[in-house]
Chains A and B, each alone.
Chain A
Amino acid sequence: AQSVSQHNHHVILSEAASLELGCNYSYGGTVNLFWYVQYPGQHLQLLLKYFSGDPLVKGIKGFEAEFIKSKFSFNLRKPSVQWSDTAEYFCAVTSNFGNEKLTFGTGTRLTIIP
C-alpha cells in the first residue's frame, strides 16, 4: 500500500521568506504526485501535479515542486512567500495501476506573518 509523509506539521514564516515543504512517499511502483492547498474557509484545490517528464513542475501562484525518484520525495517550494499563502498544504499520490484514489499526507499548516 502507498503512504505519504509530511514531516512539517506547522511552519511559520515571515513574508518574503523562502519556503520548502517536505513530502515523502512510500510505494514500489510508478506514482503520480500532487500538491493540494486549502485556504482558510475554502475547499481543497490543486496547486500542481507530476506524472511524467520534467521532474521540476511549476504550478499556480509561483509554487513549484521537484520529483526526486531516488529519494521518494516531492518537495514543494516557493522563493518568496506572501501573507495570502497562509493555508494548509497536502501532498498526495495515486498509483499508475488504474487506481484513481488519492492517498494524502497529514498536511502542513503554513502561517505567514506580515
Chain B
Amino acid sequence: GAGVSQSPRYKVAKRGQDVALRCDPISGHVSLFWYQQALGQGPEFLTYFQNEAQLDKSGLPSDRFFAERPEGSVSTLKIQRTQQEDSAVYLCASSQRQGASSTDTQYFGPGTRLTVL
C-alpha cells in the first residue's frame, strides 16, 4: 500500500475490557514497531518485529500487553483488562531494513487513539 495503515483510528473502551489494535505495514517492509504516545509526550517504544519474529518486547509496560505478527505482515497489539493509564495514541511504524538497520527510516501510521473510561 501507499503507507502504514492502522485501525481503528479511535477506540473507546470501558475499564477491564480487552482491545485489539491492527497495523498494516508498507508492503515488503521487514521491520515493524509499536510505540505508545501519551498526551504531551513523545512516542515510547513498545515492541519490535523482524518478519514474524518478535525480537524486542522490552517496552511493553505489563503482561496485559501482547503483540503478534504471525505471517510477517499485519500486526496486532492486544491489551487485556484495559486500565485508565493505557489511554494513549498507539503508533505503528515499519521500515525496509536495508543495510545498517539502525539508520533505516521508520514510516509511521496515523495511530489509534485509545480512551479507557
Q: CB within 8 Å of B: which residues of A?
A: 4, 6, 32, 36, 42-46, 49, 51, 90, 92, 94-107
CB-defined contacts of A101 to chain B, threshold 8 Å: 33, 45, 48, 56, 59
Considering the complex, give the chain A residue whose CB is closest to the CB of B37: A104
Contact A32–B42 (Cβ < 8 Å): no
CB-defined contacts of B95 to chain A, threshold 8 Å: 100
Considering the complex, give the chain A residue whose CB is closest to the CB of B46: A101
Given known A-B contacts A100-B31, A101-B48, A101-B56, A44 and B43 have beta carbons under 8 A apart: yes
A-B interface contact total, Cβ < 8 Å: 72
Residue of A45, A97, A107 touching B108 (CB-CB under 8 A): A45
Contact B103–A94 (Cβ < 8 Å): yes
Residue of A49, A94, A104 touching B44 (CB-CB under 8 A): A104
Contact B101–A98 (Cβ < 8 Å): yes
Contact A49–B103 (Cβ < 8 Å): yes
Contact A43–B102 (Cβ < 8 Å): no
Contact B109–A107 (Cβ < 8 Å): no
Contact A32–B109 (Cβ < 8 Å): no
Does B1 belong to the interface (CB within 8 Å)?
Answer: no
Report the minimum CB–CB distance from B62 to chain A (whole Å): 18
Q: What separation, in Å, do the CA atoms of A104 and B106 have in the docked complex?
A: 13
